[in-house]
């Protein structure tokens, strides 16, 4: 699983990743290929409960309370 910043570049392509919409599939697959994987199996915006060891109320990991501005991409070989 790769965790990347959501909308970090301002282009908004990763908004499709965050919502899990079909438009994010190509981006997720391309990201996996750059990391030497075959394709993405899932992609979605994370909640704090998805991050093991996350500290409540701390923004340093991309989260404030339970709202995170990061996206997870799970790649397969």
Q: For residue range 44-64, what is the model confidence (pLDDT) as tens digits?
A: 887 766 666 554 544 445 566
CA distances from 50 to 17, 30, 68 (A): 16, 23, 10
pLDDT, residue 59, reads: 43
pLDDT, residue 67, reads: 63
CB 44 within 8 A of CB 34: no
Which residue did the predictor score with more confidence, 1 or 18?
1
Predicted TM-score (pTM) of this structure: 0.69
The domain ranges of the chain are 2-76
Max distance between CA atoms of the chain, in angstroms, equals 36
Three-class DSSP category at 70: strand
Rounded Cα gap, residues 37 and 29, in angstroms: 9
Per-residue pLDDT tens for 6-35? 766 666 666 777 777 788 888 899 999 999
């Amino acid at each position: 699983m790769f965790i990347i910043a959501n909308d970090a570049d301002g282009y908004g392509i990763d908004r499709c990743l965050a919502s899990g919409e079909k438009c994010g599939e190509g981006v997720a697959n391309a990201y996996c290929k750059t990391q030497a994987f075959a394709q993405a199996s899932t992609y979605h915006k994370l909640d704090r409960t998805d991050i093991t060891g996350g500290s409540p109320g701390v923004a340093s990991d991309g989260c404030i309370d339970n709202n995170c501005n990061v996206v997870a991409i799970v790649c397969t070989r």
